Amino acid sequence: MTRSVTSVTENRPLAQRPDWDNYFMDITRVVATRSTCLRRQVGAVIVKDRRILATGYNGAPRGLKHCLEAGCLREREGVPSGERHELCRGLHAEQNALIQAAVYGISVFDAVVYATHQPCILCAKLLINAGIKKVVFEGGYPDALALEMFDEAGIELIQLKGSGINC
């Protein structure tokens, strides 16, 4: 049996081709669509030498009920964003990306993390100790201590504004 394959060439000017930061940021937005968090959909991509090492999104641990099913204690208790992380049943996108790399034995030392939002203090400490050299994010997050710790650790922070595709 012979199959026919149609080839389509996209006629897009080179000027519309995204730079590397926007390319990986676009991917974080797609990763975030897998999130089951009721409050915020976050995606993270760990990259080294322009190669994706791991991805992660925020949600409940493997095999447990998703927040969409179990509900959100922080939401029920009216806990403001950026506070009382210990009440959340989910893992953050950056945490899941680091875990995926560890599970498969992939070193993230000197890698870059792309995230849809600024990492919180919990994730900042993990990224610092993992040897991440740069964090590129789009949306802000109310956590000044995380920014201070990134600065003290000498980790470059870049916030991209309003670029790329929307998922």
Q: Which residues carry out catalysis?
A: 94
CB 155 within 8 A of CB 82: no
Give phi and psi for 46, each to the nearest 5.
Answer: -100, 130
Instruction: Using alpha carbons, select from 155, 109, 111, 113 the residue that is nearest to residue 138.
Output: 113
DSSP bridge partners of 112: 47, 134
Distance between CA atoms of residues 60 and 93, nearest Å = 11
DSSP bridge partners of 137: 115, 159
Long-range Cβ contacts of 47-53 (<8 Å, 24+ apart) = 47/111, 47/112, 47/113, 47/114, 48/108, 48/110, 48/111, 48/112, 50/20, 52/24, 52/27, 53/101, 53/106, 53/108, 53/111
